[in-house]
Each structure stands twice: as structure tokens, then as C-alpha cells.
Amino acid sequence: MPAVEKTFAIKPVRDAPATADGRRVLVDRLWPRGVSRERAALDDWWKEIAPTPELRTWFDHREDRFAEFTERYLAELRANPFAKAVRAASHAGRTTLLYGAKDHAINHAVVLARFLNRRR
């Protein structure tokens, strides 16, 4: 049986929904301020896959901590049963991981997408 092709992309939750998004999933533990549920147009909300509150607080979106944050968050993801289940799921197609951070390069969704897109 051929492998099922999955693609996880990232996008700010404040950007308008698009058909190309596929399945739209919020990956923040907290709901983003100023965004209504209607505007977000979510298919799901995976709070369980977000960094722990302790890690998120320590990181504080500081660029000088991003490398260490990445390592710590990857360790959390490898130990997270929900993240393992998402990675192993057999659904095909595009899933867009939505995040509320203002920095589009220094945030947990960047790390999460890399983790989920890696081959086993």
C-alpha cells in the first residue's frame, strides 16, 4: 500500500481563510485575542499539541531563545501522545496549522509543522 501524502502548512489565524488551506486547525493553547470563531473558520483546535504553559512563558517569543525553545518543544512533542497520533494519522491532504503569534518566523507553529512533516 502506498504511503499517504500529508502536508502541514502554517498560517496566522488573522489571515483570511482560503480554499487552499485544506483543514484549518488552531494550534495555540489560548484563544487569540481579537479573533472571532467565525473569522477563524476552524475545523479543529488542537490545544494539546501546543507548548506547555511553562515553556511558552519561558520562551516569551524571544529570538535569542528560539533555538533552545525549539529543542525543548521538540522534546515535548516526542513525548506527547496527541502529537504522535496526529503524526501517525492516515488522513491525506493539506492541513493548515493556525497560530496567533505576531512573528511569522519565530513561533511554535514553525517547529510543529517541521515535526509533523518529517518522515518517520
What is the per-residue pLDDT across 65-98, written as a single tens digit (0 to 9) for each?
Answer: 999 999 999 999 999 999 989 987 756 789 999 9
76 sits in which H/E element:
helix 66-79
Tell me the pTM. 0.90
From the DSSP assignment, how many helices (H) and strands (E) are in the chain? 5, 4
SS3 102: coil
Instruction: In whole angstroms, give the CA distance from residue 46 to residue 116.
Output: 13
What is the per-residue pLDDT across 8-31, written as a single tens digit (0 to 9) for each?
Answer: 999 999 999 999 999 999 999 999
